Chain A
């Protein structure tokens, strides 16, 4: 379904994840973050960059991967994206929700 964010029309799935990553830009990321009650900072963007890079490399995301990434530790990750960090961060990053159970 279509949704208008940051003066652009994007297609999202029923949960609100972008279905086409090419439609993503930083302004859209900021707007999705706002909907999730998150004010983006440099630390947030560092994670988003990491997630988008993994997505482009077609590598699966996991909380263990975040721990090993060197970008952030898990405690800070939960603090930055409260209430489901990987789910929220991937939504802001414009990539699909991770399918992994870990």
Chain B
């Protein structure tokens, strides 16, 4: 239906700030909705988004983020990051953006493959049980590259 030449989107998510996690999720889901294959490789801090105990507690970055329009010193005060995150989650809920856990379910059900980075899993001493049930597996970066198995594959680092 669509005229796009993109057939498959591979995302590497290396950060756990809400804005980055949602960017990856919205793009991965948007690809599936257009009939484009999509997969996400969670590495380093991105792994927080697929850890059962952490995924509902992700925050926006209030320090070192000029677009927050907040003095850096204020952003660093206790509670400010949590407050900003709560506000942002409320705004997202208004737009019918699902919380992280539900979004992962939607992605998995939509056929988006979810992978954890082996090196990062080892580095953070994580076990398979720490990670979401929807996870498709733990891969090396080499394994992930081999997922780029067709013309029209794009790889994006977030």
Q: Is B2 a contact partner of A84 (Cβ separation < 8 A)?
A: yes
Contacts A36-B1, A74-B110, A78-B110; is A101 near B96 (CB within 8 Å)?
no
Q: Which of A3-11, A21-29, A40-48, A56-64 forms contacts with chain B? A: A56-64
User: CA separation between A82 and B29, bound complex, in Å?
Assistant: 14
Q: Which of B30-38, B125-133, B150-158 forms contacts with chain A? A: B30-38
Q: Is B35 a contact partner of A102 (Cβ separation < 8 A)?
A: no
> Which parts of A44-87 form the interface with B (CB within 8 Å)?
60, 62-65, 67, 73-75, 78, 82-87
Q: Does B97 contact A (CB under 8 A)?
A: yes
Q: Which residues of A contact B1 (CB under 8 A)?
A: 15, 36, 83-84, 87-88
Q: Is B95 a contact partner of A102 (Cβ separation < 8 A)?
A: yes
Q: Does B80 contact A (CB under 8 A)?
A: no
User: CA separation between A68 and B32, bound complex, in Å?
Assistant: 18
The 0/1 profile, CB within 8 Å of A marked 1, for residues 27-48 of chain B is: 0011011110000000000000
Q: Which residues of B contact A62 (CB under 8 A)?
A: 96
Q: Residues of B with Cβ closer than 8 Å to A?
A: 1-2, 26, 29-30, 32-35, 95-98, 102, 106, 109-111
Q: Residues of A with Cβ closer than 8 Å to B?
A: 15, 36, 60, 62-65, 67, 73-75, 78, 82-88, 100-102
- Can you show 18 pairs from A to B with CB atoms below 8 A apart? A15-B1, A62-B96, A63-B29, A64-B96, A67-B106, A74-B106, A75-B109, A75-B111, A78-B110, A82-B35, A84-B33, A85-B33, A86-B33, A87-B2, A87-B33, A87-B34, A88-B1, A102-B26
